[in-house]
Every structure is written in structure tokens, then in C-alpha cells.
């Protein structure tokens, strides 16, 4: 069976990640097929709205740790072609229908969508603090949530769907049987709008989303290098082997007191 399945419902395309045995973890094959699917959707004049979901118990568990370990490449191998959904080139609205776990890269897929529904049992986690030398500092900022909640997200705490609904990250909470019917209702509403209004409004709203400025991005790049890089693969090995990680922290213990600053990266 293909690791990405699609269904057409008139002008609506359902895109379903289909590696349920791994909670739809993102391996190279799935990333490539998603890029091809979103490219095809973008250029198909008969399709206007997409619904993005997963099969089984998970929406997407994020990075495929076993593949990363095999290739000794933290973060996984990206597709050789542009993914317009990830790059922002896709002009058409995408609705997330979150059927289960959305972790790490899976959370980031939800984050890129325009409207979001989730089953009540769904669980969310920004996992960067567990896998890199810098936690997900930008996600709470993009979601425009208060500082302590953004900090909680950045440090890898898990969130229930109910909590994410309460803070405004999700549009709807539904029972599992109602997930796709409600997502289709939202998509059908979008199709009642004048086409230019739908496209222009989505584009405008995306431009207004908060984003870290250039100085903050430079600081983040420096912090991604600030520490023992061996910990990146150790975190993935420990996850795959179901054991406690043995982190080094810093190659030079004094580096923990030599944090890059905004002034130092200018």
C-alpha cells in the first residue's frame, strides 16, 4: 500500500499519511510522496481545498528515528523536490484532521495548516528540545500564546487536544466518528466563497502570522551549534533502543556559561 493515499471529493482532496505501524513517522519515501502530492494539488485546476490526515492511531509521529540512525543523519533526509506545503508556495487552504498523536515534525505539519480539527484523544508535542540542541522556541510565538505556555511547548511537554482547543490552537474538537464529516463540512464552506476571496484571504492571513525576526533567527542558528553535537544521535539511539539517553551536554563544560547572545551574532 502507498505510504500516502489520496481521495478526491469533487474540489476537495483528502491527503492521508499511511504508515500506521510507525504512527505515520516521516521517512524519506513519505516526505517525497507528500511533496509530489502537494505539488500535484497545487497545479490541479479542479481541486481547491485539501484535508490532511493520518491513518491508524497517529496523525504523524514526526521524524523516523530508525531511518535517521541508519543514515546517521539527524532530522531525516529531505525530498529532492520542493514541497509547496512546507515552503509556503501552496496558495490553496489546507485543513488538518488530526486523528491521533501529532509529535515533533507531525506537530509542525499541523502548525502549517490553516484550519484544524482534532479528535478528543489526540496528543500534541513539540519535540525539538528532546532531539536537538535548541528546543522549539518559535512555535508558541507563531501560535501567539502567552509566554509560559510557549515555554512549555518549547521544552517538550505534551498537550491534550482539549488544552490546545482552549488556548486557540485548534478550531474544533470532535468525536473520532465525526472527524472526516466535520472536516468535509469546513471544506465545503470554503468552496461557497468567491475563489479570489478564498485565496486572497488565506494568503493575507498567512502573511500576518507572527514570526521570529532575523536577529532571533541568527541567535537560534548559533544555539543549534552550541553543545555536544553527539547528543543529537544519542537522543535518537536512546529512543530507538527504548533506554535512558546518556547525554554529554557540552564538549567543554565551560561552554554552558558562554551562551551566544543577540550582540554576539550580529
pLDDT band, very low/low/confident/very high, at 48 (cuts 50, 70, 90): very high
Cα–Cα distance measured from residue 72 to residue 207, given in angstroms and rounded to the nearest whole number: 36
Q: What is the pLDDT of residue 20?
A: 97
Exposed, middle or buried: residue 210 (CB in 10 Å: 0-12, 13-18, 19+)? exposed
Instruction: Over range 217-236, report the average pLDDT.
Output: 96
List the one residue out of 73, 98, 83 whose CA is nearest residue 38.
83
Is the CB of residue 93 less than 8 Å from the CB of residue 73?
no
At 155-187, the pLDDT tens digits run 999 999 999 999 999 999 999 999 999 999 999
**Is pLDDT of 77 > 90?**
no
What is the grid cell recorded at 211?
514570526
42-56, 63-77, 117-131, 233-247: least confidently modelled range: 63-77
Cα–Cα distance measured from residue 223 to residue 154, given in angstroms and rounded to the nearest whole number: 14
At 186-206, the pLDDT tens digits run 999 999 999 999 999 999 999
Exposed, middle or buried: residue 49 (CB in 10 Å: 0-12, 13-18, 19+)? buried
Instruction: Over range 4-24, report the average pLDDT.
Output: 98
Cα–Cα distance measured from residue 9 to residue 1, given in angstroms and rounded to the nearest whole number: 21
Q: In 10 A of CB 103, how many CB atoms?
A: 24
65-69, 152-156, 197-201: least confidently modelled range: 65-69
pTM (2 decimals)?
A: 0.95
**Is pLDDT of 78 > 90?**
no
Q: By percentage, how much of the chain surpasses pLDDT 70? A: 100
Amino acid at each position: 500500500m502507498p505510504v500516502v493515499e489520496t481521495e478526491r471529493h469533487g474540489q476537495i482532496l483528502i491527503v492521508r499519511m499511511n504508515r500506521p505501524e510507525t504512527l505515520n513517522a516521516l521517512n524519506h519515501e513519505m516526505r517525497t510522496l507528500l511533496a509530489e502530492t502537494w505539488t500535484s494539488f497545487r497545479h490541479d485546476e479542479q481541486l481547491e481545498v485539501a484535508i490532511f490526515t493520518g491513518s491508524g492511531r497517529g496523525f504523524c509521529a514526526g521524524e523516523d528515528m530508525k531511518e535517521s540512525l541508519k543514515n546517521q543523519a539527524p532530522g531525516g533526509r529531505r525530498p529532492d523536490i520542493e514541497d509547496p506545503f512546507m515552503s509556503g508556495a501552496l496558495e490553496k487552504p489546507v485543513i488538518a484532521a488530526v486523528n491521533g498523536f501529532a509529535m515533533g515534525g507531525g506537530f509542525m505539519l499541523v502548525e502549517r495548516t490553516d484550519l484544524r480539527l482534532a479528535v478528543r484523544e489526540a496528543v500534541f508535542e513539540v519535540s525539538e528540545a528532546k532531539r536537538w540542541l535548541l528546543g522549539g522556541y518559535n512555535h508558541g510565538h507563531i501560535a501567539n500564546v502567552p509566554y509560559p505556555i510557549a515555554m512549555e511547548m518549547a521544552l517538550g511537554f505534551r498537550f491534550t487536544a482539549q488544552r490546545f482547543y482552549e488556548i486557540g490552537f485548534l478550531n474544533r474538537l470532535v468525536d473520532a466518528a465525526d472527524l472526516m464529516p466535520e472536516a468535509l463540512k469546513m471544506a465545503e464552506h470554503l468552496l461557497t466563497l468567491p475563489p479570489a476571496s478564498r485565496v486572497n484571504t488565506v494568503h493575507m492571513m498567512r502573511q500576518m502570522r507572527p514570526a521570529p525576526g532575523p536577529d532571533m533567527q541568527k541567535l537560534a542558528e548559533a544555539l543549534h551549534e552550541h553543545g555536544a553535537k553527539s547528543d543529537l544521535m544519542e537522543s535518537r539511539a536512546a529512543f530507538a533502543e527504548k533506554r535512558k539517553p546518556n547525554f554529554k551536554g557540552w564538549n567543554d563544560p565551560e561552554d554552558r556559561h558562554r551562551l551566544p547572545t543577540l550582540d554576539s551574532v550580529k
